[in-house]
Structure 1
Amino acid sequence: MDLIQQLNLGTTAELMITVLVVFCITQAFKTTRLGNHYLPWIAMGAGILVGLVATATTGDTNYLSSAVMGLLVGGFTAGLFDGFKGFGGIK
């Protein structure tokens, strides 16, 4: 998460909101019948949406940076490698 702050993609408040919500969404999807190989992609999509909402909530106007921050948080939360492993059929 230090990478996100070093790149100045979002404030600490936006980062914490995004991490918490994306983690909860990811954990909720783990309990469904949906295959786990879709989980990283769902987490990254949710990260983008949550990042945008967090930016609007905190009154910031840098939406592109927040979308990138959400994408990275979603990837970190679900395990980015698992997404490529599931997409490519690698076992």
Structure 2
Amino acid sequence: MQIIEGLNLIDVAQLTIIAVLCYVLTNSVKNTNTIDSKWMPFVSMGLGLVLAIVTALVFHDKEIGKAIIAGLLIGGWTSGMFDGVQGFLNNGGK
């Protein structure tokens, strides 16, 4: 998380809000078992993207492009992107 913060894409308040909401929503989707777990990192990145745009608009951030990049990074971070890519490449760990 310090790496994302160090990029100065968004402020710490936005970063925290996006990370917490993205984690909660991703786990909620994961617990429904409607989507295969190998797709969860991409779902998390999509949620991070949407949450970043909404947060940027609420905070009246003028640079939405930076917020989008931060949202994708936060989504990947909250889902454990490495594990997700490994699961996808290894056919879901089977």
Identify the residue that residue 19 of structure 1 maps to in structure 2. 19
Identify the residue that residue 86 of structure 1 maps to in structure 2. 87
CA–CA separation in structure 2 for the residues paired with 1:3 and 1:69? 11
5+ unaligned residues in a row in structure 2: which ranges? Answer: none
5+ unaligned residues in a row in structure 1: which ranges? Answer: none
Are residue 47 (structure 1) and residue 48 (structure 2) matched?
A: yes
Instruction: For 1:80, give the aligned amino acid.
Output: M
SS in 1 for 2:65: helix
The number of residues matched between the two structures is: 91
Identify the residue that residue 70 of structure 2 maps to in structure 1. 69
After TM superposition, the score normalised by the length of structure 1 is 0.91
CA RMSD of aligned residues (A): 1.3
| 1:30 shift after superposition | 1.6
Give the fraction of aligned pairs with identical amino acids, expressed as a percent.
32
Divergent runs of 4+, >4 A:
none
Are residue 2 (structure 1) and residue 11 (structure 2) matched?
A: no
SS in 1 for 2:10: coil
CA–CA separation in structure 2 for the residues paired with 1:13 and 1:56? 14
CA–CA separation in structure 2 for the residues paired with 1:11 and 1:72? 14
